[in-house]
Structure 1
Amino acid sequence: MGKPRVQLYYKNVTADIIGRKHGINAEQFQELANQTKPVISELNQMRESGQVAYRDLPYNEDYPRQVKEIAGELEGKYENFVVLGIGGSALGNIALQTALNPYMYNLDEKQRAGRPRLFVFDNVDPAQLASFLNWVDDKLDKTVFNVISKSGRTAETAAQFLTIRNVLLEKLGEKGYREQVVATTDSKQGTMRTITDDAGFKSLEVPDGVGGRWSVLSPVGLLSAAVCGIDIDELLEGARSMDERVKTEDFFKNPAAINAAVNWNYYNCGKRISVMMPYSYNLKDMSDWYRQLWAESLGKSKDLRGHDIFVGPTPVKALGTTDQHSQVQLYREGPNDKLFTFLQVNEFENDITIGGNPDCAPELGYLGGAKMSKLLNSEKIATEYALLKDKRPCMTVMFDKIDAHAVGEFIYLFEVTTSLAGLLFGIDAYDQPAVELGKEATFALMGREGFTDMAKDISPVAEIDDSFLI
């Protein structure tokens, strides 16, 4: 195994740096190691028994082969690739695209290098979709849609799909409809599988036992990445290389174990907000992906024994340097209830030399001729320094550079971190029961059969009381 391209730096949570009141001393770290080692072993055993299917996605040879086969069939035929999905069926796709393709990818044909634009619709905002449909109207024959839904019954994705279905049938007929939809869904059953088989769509599998927020390294996330030129083999290789590090039971050599234990420790010490702050625009949407992974996995009302627990660290995203000017005032002088995780890039693929200062502004001379990357990383270090002055615990995930291998490492690191944190909290990190009531209430409000009683129960909430409207 070569040198890791992603590493976790955790010195700035120690008592030596921020003091005993807010920092973790050597004795406490050893106690965390003793508490976490059995959890690492338990997770490894769960994997061997097939209970954590996402752990083996980087080793599946069929999925990348099937993805590349469909991507090859689409290559050169289409100018637009549109993902229809929500939550885990969208956030990973967005994060991969932002991380591994240029900022101007959709607008600059030269930077796209013959590949299609990527659009990901993860909402049912009518103004947003209408704007896109108006734009794409005369480009439909050059547009392919990837609908991602395990069951096909998620209201948002179903509504998106039904809308696109009507547009394709009206404009391009049965042949266009059949050829310009790729379904990523259950391989055997469900509404979308039925529709797929009936229409004759190309299709890929949403793996059994892999929830949406854990699925980015499956066909759910890999197809849009491959179509847009991302090296999915390197992405998966990066995940495999991280797997070697996060399955070791040596606590102090396992970055996921330390990450999980530090987060768990601080939650129990009253620091219940987890801030992820990348100092790289490319990594900003990894924070969105992380927010879902962390929130849905760890926010639970019951522990594994069925007892009330109401646990869950709140994930917050920030972007350096942007949010130094919107959030850091709170982070430094507000409640000391947060753990900060920075994402830092040591070597940027492209860099800029800052222009020289005019003679009338000598005070800007310190900037002239410097690299923009030096300024960005100096701002990160300065922000961390300021937070440490106020005894705020900080960790940093360090990227040698941003490439597919490193992004694969990062994804796998935080997936396993989340699994280990779930075991430390004593909860099921793989379900999301609280999401279901909102789904069912939506069904009731939309008039779905079988939800009449719930619709009546909701009516007092749905009705506006004018006496409280000002």
Structure 2
Amino acid sequence: MFKNTLYFDNFPLSTISAYASRINDELESGEVGYYHLTDTSQILVNESLEFIKGKEHIKNIVLVGMGGSSCGVKALRDMLFDEKQNDRKLFILDNTSSHSFLEIIKQISLENSLFLITSKTGSTIEVISLFKLIIAHFNIKEVDFHKYFVFITDINSKLHKESENLGIKCFFIPNNVGGRFSILSAVGIVPLCFCGYNANSLLQGAKACFEDFFKHKKDELLQKAYHYCTHKNANINVLFSYSDAFKGFNEWYIQLIAESLGKKQGYKRIGLTPIALIGARDQHSFLQLIMDGPKNKTITFLKIKDSTKSLHIPNICFKFLDSLSNNVSLHDLLNAQCDATMHALIAENLSVDVIELEKLDAWHCGYLMYYYELFTSLCGIMLGINTYDQPGVEIGKLILKNLLEGVKKG
């Protein structure tokens, strides 16, 4: 069960139905491929499981990727910590930091590791640089590359061409699927299958979200996107996630919203600014600003209903310390903190909604991630921008290449 409750007034469907029509047009056009991954990635699950079959010696999967090639996988690894069917460890190298590189490399040995070099364009300089560092660190001979590396990229990209040159297995991302919308493509499905996560259930959850929106015409998502995009005062959306398991998801949410919705429109600058918090910890830092600071924020609460595995607070009493939480589960305490904070913000007349997951499993994670991809697409349509490009990022990449050329010449 996935439930989204909106604590603000709904708009008449006649006001927002045009946006539903436009996203249907986008779906039917075939130009935006992530919509269809719930179906097309089924064959990829079988291909991934077939490839890894019989490779019991592999104990470590190391994904090397940046941005859209890593954020979603990190989110699912964190959320599905309790749902694995083998003992393979999933490591993620997603920064050109010597500290991060050495911290992961020292935990693995070459003979029981497989590296997933992931780049949609096949030319991400950070990914290619880390690929070369791995080769040099382990002194891997070219003739053995196929044993230790798998490439995930677009068809006909530079990385694809190199895979053919080196004899390395390649899994493909559809050309019409953007990087930050690629979690249900080979970017996510391949490492999840290799590490024993339930990729089929993930796709089924995403498919349920697709059907709720496009087939059953549930309008909570449409109402939410329109309210947040047309809010007179608030252009900051705060995601307040109540569990440490959502840490990676929060990072993915920030990348998805920021890179998709921060755009120029002529001389006008448009966007929703994402902020991601973890409850209840961040109630003791950022909450004060939301409560009493400028009312320029909308707030989404994210919580998990199931608490069957939660620890219970013991019935220990002290003379000077309160006993309010005695015999209460930690999970129930966490959700009570979520509800209390939510109602305090509603009382301040802030725009609030809450997402409730029945439990944290692959199905609900698939639904949640597809929900936010749809939310982002809807917001892009409502803001009148191109949701799927990132011209500001491309400028930085060009400057980096010029700087590196200068370093070489120097």
Q: Fold conserved (TM > 0.5)? A: yes
1:308 aligned partner = 267
2:226 aligned partner = 261
Q: Does 1:298 align with 2:298?
A: no
Q: Which amino acid aligns with 1:93?
A: V
Structure 1 residues not aligned, in runs of 5+: 15-25, 103-110, 456-470
Distance, in Å, in 2 between the alignment partners of 1:448 and 1:436 is 19
Q: Percent identity?
A: 29
Q: Does 1:120 align with 2:92?
A: yes
Q: Does 1:280 align with 2:243?
A: yes
Distance, in Å, in 2 between the alignment partners of 1:417 and 1:448 is 42
Post-superposition Cα deviations, 1:248-278, rounded to whole Å, max 9, x if no partner, equal 585xx22321221121122xx1201000011
Distance, in Å, in 2 between the alignment partners of 1:394 and 1:379 is 15
Q: Which amino acid aligns with 1:92?
A: G
Q: Does the C-alpha gap of structure 1 residues 418 and 98 become closer, same or farther in structure 2, counting only changes over 3 Å?
A: same
Q: How many angstroms does 1:349 deviate by?
A: 5.2
Q: 1:193 aligns with which of 151, 156, 160?
A: 160
Q: How many angstroms does 1:71 deviate by?
A: 3.3
Which residues in structure 2 correspond to 1:89-168 (within 5 Å)?
A: 89-102=69-82, 114-136=86-108, 139-168=109-138
Post-superposition Cα deviations, 1:293-313, rounded to whole Å, max 9, x if no partner, equal 1111111102xxxx4331001
- Once the two structures are overlaid, the 10-residue window that deviates more, 376-385 or 40-49, is 40-49
1:55 aligned partner = 35
Q: Does the C-alpha gap of structure 1 residues 407 and 134 become closer, same or farther in structure 2, counting only changes over 3 Å?
A: closer
Contact kept in structure 1, 2:67 and 2:255, CA below 8 Å: yes
Post-superposition Cα deviations, 1:102-155, rounded to whole Å, max 9, x if no partner, equal 4xxxxxxxx96642111111110112212333343xx11111100101222111
Distance, in Å, in 2 between the alignment partners of 1:316 and 1:359 is 39
Q: 1:218 aligns with which of 174, 178, 185?
A: 185
Distance, in Å, in 2 between the alignment partners of 1:200 and 1:179 is 10
- Once the two structures are overlaid, the 10-residue window that deviates more, 349-358 or 408-417, is 349-358
Distance, in Å, in 2 between the alignment partners of 1:231 and 1:218 is 14
Aligned length: 409
Q: 2:47 aligns with which of 55, 58, 66?
A: 66
Distance, in Å, in 2 between the alignment partners of 1:73 and 1:270 is 57
Please state whether the residue corresponding to 2:405 is helix, strand or coil. Answer: coil
Q: How many angstroms does 1:73 deviate by?
A: 4.6
Q: How many angstroms does 1:167 deviate by?
A: 2.9
Q: 1:270 aligns with which of 233, 236, 239?
A: 233
Q: Which amino acid aligns with 1:186?
A: D
- Once the two structures are overlaid, the 10-residue window that deviates more, 42-51 or 271-280, is 42-51
Q: Does 1:420 align with 2:400?
A: no
1:435 aligned partner = 393
Distance, in Å, in 2 between the alignment partners of 1:351 and 1:36 is 42
Normalising by the residue count of structure 2, what TM-score does the alignment of the two structures yield? 0.94
Q: Does the C-alpha gap of structure 1 residues 403 and 133 become closer, same or farther in structure 2, counting only changes over 3 Å?
A: closer
Distance, in Å, in 2 between the alignment partners of 1:359 and 1:334 is 37
Q: Which amino acid aligns with 1:165?
A: I
Q: Does 1:376 align with 2:334?
A: yes
Contact kept in structure 2, 1:344 and 1:377, CA below 8 Å: yes
Q: How many angstroms does 1:224 deviate by?
A: 1.6
Q: How many angstroms does 1:163 deviate by?
A: 1.0
Q: Which amino acid aligns with 1:134?
A: K
Q: 1:13 aligns with which of 8, 19, 37?
A: 8
1:391 aligned partner = 349
Please state whether the residue corresponding to 1:195 is helix, strand or coil. Answer: helix
2:293 aligned partner = 334
Q: How many angstroms does 1:174 deviate by?
A: 3.7
Contact kept in structure 2, 1:99 and 1:402, CA below 8 Å: yes
Q: CA RMSD in A?
A: 2.1
Q: Does 1:244 align with 2:211?
A: yes
